Amino acid sequence: MTDDIRQRKADHLDLCATEQVAFRAETTLLEQVRFVHQSLPELALDELDLSVELLGKVLRAPLVISAMTGGHERAQEINRTLAAVAQRRGYAFGLGSQRAMLLRPESVSTYRVRDVAPDMLLLGNIGVVQARDMSTADVARLVADVGADALCVHLNPAMELVQPEGDRDFRGCVATLARLVKELPVPVVAKETGNGLSRTALRQLRDVGVRYVDTSGAGGTSWVGVETLRAEGGQRELGEALWDWGVPTAASVVYAAEAGMTTIATGGVRTGHDVARAIALGAAVGGIARPVFMALAAGGEAGVEAFLDGVERELRAVMLLTGSRSVQDLCAAERRIGARLREWTE
């Protein structure tokens, strides 16, 4: 099992460095949000305020470098490099699933980034099925071992069904979230892994006390697709059938805002324009994962910085051209919603 997890982590890194794991036909529907241009914004670009508060910490810009990796030797340098970038830029940073730490305690070094990012908002990560079978004290130790400020508990039934070695029993997950919200010393973020959150799921989360979510909706990286490319036979056929399964990111953001959740919008968020659209729909911040990793793979740390410079530049431009002095103003910016997104949300 430990060798399987280590190899799976390596496979995920190799596959996610390419576009072959993107959704094929479905989109995030963020493109369905069209801002109304303001020709007289009465603003200067350098007076815009991009700062937001998330999970008790102030971010310089509404951005999270979202959960990617851990548990493999290559993950150590990736996590430390990206965490250092997040620290410098005032972003939040998410670790990949810490499940490997349960089976290979020596892999904890691949998740530890606090020495390079002492002040950054750091999100830990464990699967809800794994957490179900752990005591709260053991989950809390995973959080403490990496110095995380909050814990993402990821929900990934579609991915697991395709994964040859994946879980098949998802009973008790709602009760697990209720327990963790009540007993953990840090906030719990319910995080999907590429298939989005429905209104029903958000009601279930709200009812057990969850107040923070990460949408990771359909339209970005298909983790079903990632596992499909690792699978064979019937599992591969199942993955092909479910490759584009899920609730689009934009719809999930709307549902989460309706439920009163503080929302991290991930799943196909690639640009500053995407971040602005997500915020206009009700997200607190946008999270970007695979595009950051691809920038790292192609151009190293300098490539990541250049990519994120572009994201911020585009976000600032959208804010100015909508007359939004702050991120809070952007929430109220005049916009039009396309028919496909209205079908999901009305």
In this model, does residue 12 exceed pLDDT 80? no
Shortest CA distance to 69 belongs to which of 143, 139, 144, 8? Answer: 8
Alpha helices in 35-153 (DSSP H): 73-89, 99-103, 128-132, 136-146
Q: Check residue 170 and give its pLDDT.
A: 96
Residues 6+ apart with CB under 8 A from 292: 65, 66, 68, 82, 304, 307, 308
- pLDDT, residue 313, reads 98
With 70 as the cut, is the pLDDT of residue 70 above it? yes
Mean pLDDT to the nearest integer, 324-335: 97
pLDDT average, residue stretch 111-116: 97
**What pLDDT, on a 0 to 100 scale, did the predictor assign at position 275?**
98
Contact 105, 146 (CB under 8 A): no
pLDDT digits (tens, 9 = 90+) for 183-231: 999 999 999 999 999 999 999 999 999 999 999 999 998 888 888 888 8
Q: Give the model's pLDDT for residue 9.
A: 59
The pLDDT of residue 159 is 92
Look at residue 3 and tell me whether its pLDDT is greater than 60. no
* Mean pLDDT for all residues in the chain: 94
For the residues 32-53, what does the mean pLDDT come to? 98
**Number of other residues whose CB lies within 10 A of the CB of residue 45:** 11
Please state the φ and ψ torsions of residue 86, each to the nearest 5 degrees.
-60, -40
CATH number for 2-345 (one of 2.40.110.10, 3.40.800.20, 3.20.20.70, 1.10.10.10): it is 3.20.20.70
Q: Which of 107, 140, 105, 106 is nearest to 126 (CA)?
A: 140
- pLDDT above 90 covers a percentage of the chain that reads 85
Min mean pLDDT across 17-31, 75-89, 226-240 is at 17-31
pLDDT score of 78 = 95
Q: Apex CA 58: angle with CA 55 and CA 60, to 5°?
A: 130
What's the pLDDT tens digit per position in 137-155?
999 999 999 999 999 999 9
- Identify the band that residue 2 occupies on the pLDDT scale cut at 50, 70 and 90: low
* Residue whose pair of structure tokens reads 């190899």 in the numeric block: 7
Residue 8, helix vs strand vs coil? helix
- Please determine, for residue 69, whether its predicted confidence score (pLDDT) is greater than 90: no
Q: How many CA atoms lie within 13 A of 252 on its CB side?
A: 31
Pair 16, 293: CB distance under 8 Å: yes
Cα 201 versus chain centre, distance: 17
Write phi, then psi, for 57 (nearest 5 degrees): -125, 150
Residue 1 reports pLDDT greater than 60:
no
Distances (CA, A) of 103 to 6, 98, 106: 10, 10, 9
For residue 315, what are the CA distances in angstroms to 28, 145, 156, 176, 310? 18, 35, 30, 37, 9
